[in-house]
Amino acid sequence: MAIPDTTALHRLLDQLDVCIADDLESEFLDFKPWQGPREDLKLACEYAACFANAAGGMVVFGVADKVRGRAQAIHGVRGYDLDVFRRGIFDGTRPGVSAEVFEIEVPEGTGKLLVVRVPEGASKPYGTAAGLFKQRVGKNCMPLDPMSFQHAQVRSAAVDWSGAPALGLRLQDLDPLQIERARQVLRSKSPSSGLLELPDPAFLSGLEAMRNGQVTHTGLLLFARREVLAQHCPQAQFHYVLHDGETSVARNDIDRLPLLEAVERMEQVFTGPLNPEKEVDLGLFKLRIPQFPLEGVREAVLNALTHRDYLNPGEVLVRHSDKELVVTSPGGFVAGITPENILRHEAVPRNRTLANALVKLRLVESSGIGRRRIFRSALVFGKRRPEYQTDGHSVTLRMFNREAHDALARLVAGLDAQGAEVALDHMLVLDALLTQDFIDAAQAAEVLQLPRDDARRTLDAMCLPPLGLLERRGHTSAATFHLAKGVAKELKGKAAYTRTRGLNPIRYAEMVREYLRDHQRIENAELRELLGLGNSPSAQVEASRYLKKWSQPDGFLDRQRVRDTYVYSLRSRA
């Protein structure tokens, strides 16, 4: 089931002759009689919060929910203002709910019903300005119980679970070996840090592993003895699976480890024979390319452990095969972050105190650089772009070993050696052009997760020395870009540049004539495919320009409209 649209709602109203509105209600739909604009605005705020805390829903005002018969049940609404209702719902909920408020026309009553449609909230939990928190359960709005309320706050990062006291934990429950491990990490990265001079209690307080003499959940995750961690936070489970075949497992490790030890364990795996390297010639030197770059693996594991939802009973799962590395962590993205903006969105830590401690230990960045580092570590070796996925309950990162492109790795390494640094944005564009001939600003904006103007500036910069990676075709905002001659030859072969640059219009006409002798007719899309123009808006315009020119009185094509498009055929005299 889902939130009904207007058509479905009208169909439901037609059923009121054989049942009451209450029978039609669901987890996504509620009917309410109209009492008046002030009373029902208050009720609308309650239902907006209720539906936003669940999967979204719709409340319809102007229908008695206990009366059988459409004419008797529908009495309609009056005396309201749509804009006042929209603003009132937003102002009357915390955080503000942006509900869709609209009317539908009916023949009964006042002739109108008022509909409030609410999407699922991205910043749960939601409540009214008066402090009422409810969630849709079945056909009812039920109060959020304290545990559900806490879970919703932690999921949305409204409350920092990692900074709260770990009840029942004492300083003696922390492992001196884990504390020393943290000191060694910090010493290796920042030997002059003032934290290193502090005794253990002050060191722990500096990391906010202790506050006011109490061990926090951050202290529990970083420093607790294993048996203490298992007792107080059994969900802090780390699961590593090594696949040696499609359906077979060579290693299956399940542990509850202090966080730094878990990260060190993964570093040991990926610096050993389970992560073999291959060598690629680079002039007098050799470039060593691992199956999975250690820097990216470390960032992926740290992100999973740092930003997971620790009130979720799930585990951090790492699946490792020779084709891909898959890291899954419990808890969806924090509000505002999606796979489509993951490279640009500012960091929103779910566990801020834990994230701050890792920043102080110089293990992670506080500015979201880690995510970009994951992408760069893969692309710099010519590997496929990593992928983030989420179902709202967990986040999965896939890093690929297959489809590595040695020539791209050589190109990037060579430019870096010459002092022409190839930035992540440049590599993302090159990665896209491995599978297509052209890219325009709109496509680049999607690839780079940037506004179109910024994406165009990136493309223009790639055309200029010292990079010289691209060439531009066209001088308008619809211009397309393709690989420069030497780059195309290196990455795609000798014929790639000639094919991409295309032939002159005289040869285009010969190709079209030859095509039409075999296939009798051609459309814009088929012409673009034939000439290798691509699918960008500018390519469509270019193809239309050729077709228009060739169908002029002195041309060789006849044009005919078929349904909603034009098709072209060879003139008998051509």
Q: What pLDDT tens digit does each residue of the chain (574 aa) get?
A: 789 999 999 999 999 999 999 999 999 999 999 999 999 999 999 999 999 999 999 999 999 999 999 999 999 999 999 999 999 999 999 999 999 999 999 999 999 999 999 999 888 889 999 889 999 989 999 988 776 777 776 766 678 899 999 999 999 999 999 999 999 999 999 999 999 999 999 999 999 999 999 999 999 999 999 999 999 999 999 999 999 988 899 999 999 999 999 999 999 999 999 999 888 887 778 889 999 999 999 999 999 999 999 988 899 999 999 999 999 999 888 878 899 999 998 888 889 999 999 999 999 876 668 899 999 999 999 999 999 999 888 999 999 986 668 889 888 988 888 888 899 999 999 999 998 888 989 899 999 999 999 999 999 999 999 999 999 887 777 788 999 988 988 888 876 666 666 555 556 887 788 888 888 899 998 888 888 777 888 888 989 999 999 999 989 999 998 888 899 999 886 4
- Nearest Cα neighbor of 113 from 147, 86, 76 is 76
Class of domain 406-501: mainly alpha
Show Cβ contacts of residue 64 under 8 Å, excluding neighbours closer than 6 positions.
21, 31, 33, 72, 73, 74, 75
Show Cβ contacts of residue 447 under 8 Å, excluding neighbours closer than 6 positions.
428, 429, 431, 432, 439, 455
Domain with CATH 1.10.10.2340 in the chain: 406-501
> Pairing between strand 57-61 and 29-32?
parallel
Do 236 and 229 contact (CB within 8 A), yes or no? Answer: yes
Domain with CATH 3.30.950.30 in the chain: 6-144
Q: Rounded distance, CA 357 to CA 207, Å?
A: 5
Tokens of 221: 């995750």
Instruction: Please give the pLDDT value at position 573.
Output: 67
Q: Rounded distance, CA 218 to CA 165, Å?
A: 9
The CATH number of 6-144 is which of 3.30.950.30, 3.30.420.40, 3.40.50.720, 3.30.930.10?
3.30.950.30
Looking at 171-224, which runs of residues are DSSP E strands? 210-211, 214-215
User: What fold is seen in the domain 505-570?
Assistant: Arc Repressor Mutant, subunit A (1.10.10)
- Listed in sequence order, the DSSP H helices in 520-558 are 524-531, 537-550
Tokens of 411: 């190109």
Q: Using a CB cutoff of 8 Å and minimum separation of 24, what contacts does 388-393 make?
A: 388/339, 388/342, 389/339, 390/332, 390/333, 390/338, 390/339, 391/332, 392/332, 393/312, 393/330, 393/331, 393/332
Q: Rounded distance, CA 250 to CA 284, Å?
A: 38
Task: Say whether 566 sits in a helix, a strand or coil.
Answer: strand
Instruction: Please give the pLDDT value at position 287.
Output: 87
Task: Say whether 182 sits in a helix, a strand or coil.
Answer: helix
Domain with CATH 3.30.565.60 in the chain: 154-403
Show Cβ contacts of residue 572 under 8 Å, excluding neighbours closer than 6 positions.
none
Domain 154-403, CATH:
3.30.565.60
Q: Rounded distance, CA 572 to CA 505, Å?
A: 21
Query: Radius of gyration (Cα) for the chain, nearest Å?
Result: 31
Instruction: Name the residue with tokens 């009973």.
Output: 313
Neighbouring C-beta atoms of residue 191, cutoff 10 Å: 8
Buried b (16+ CB within 10 A) or exposed e, 441-470: bbbbbebbbbebeebbebbeebeeeebebb
